[in-house]
Amino acid sequence: MNVSSRAIEVIKHHEGVRQKPYRCPARLWTVGVGHVLYPEQGRLKLEDRDSVELKTEDSRTFSMDEVNAILRSDLARFERGVAQYCPVALTQGQFDALVSFSFNVGLGTLQRSTLRQKVLRGDMEGASDEILKYCMAGGKILKGLQNRRIDEKAMFQS
């Protein structure tokens, strides 16, 4: 199963779309829809990440076609991950919501989650409620994450 165009728009809306490389809050060079340009940079201590320079070939404005191609490639990994960790019959909306959720929190979080356990047991109502529990960062509820989870729950139930 592939993520729908509707889900891609929701992901873009919540992640944001940037055509020029920037440093995300984790100090990683990022472009497009949350795409980390240099994954090895993430293995450095936070205070050492600023020493990584943007490569000359990346110091430019990426076209929307490039941004969309990068996103499609990134999403393919999450589509495979959702299929692997949730090998049950899913509706398009459930699949889309799980891919969006995983894109945001990571496949490891999905793998260890009560959300996944409920999906595997067929408790889809309980699973949709679990989505709403993932709206905190730094011990605080973030309005942006809360809004994203509300959208993902609605997508899951569609």
Catalytic positions: 15
**Residue 23, SS3?**
strand
Q: Considering only CA atoms, which of 23, 21, 41 is closest in space to residue 31?
A: 21
Rounded CA-CA distance 48/32 in Å is 23
Cβ(4)–Cβ(92) below 8 Å: yes
Max CA pair span of the chain: 50
The alpha-helical segments, DSSP class H, found in the chain are: 5-15, 64-85, 92-105, 107-112, 114-121, 124-131, 143-157
Q: Which helix (H) or strand (E) holds 108?
A: helix 107-112
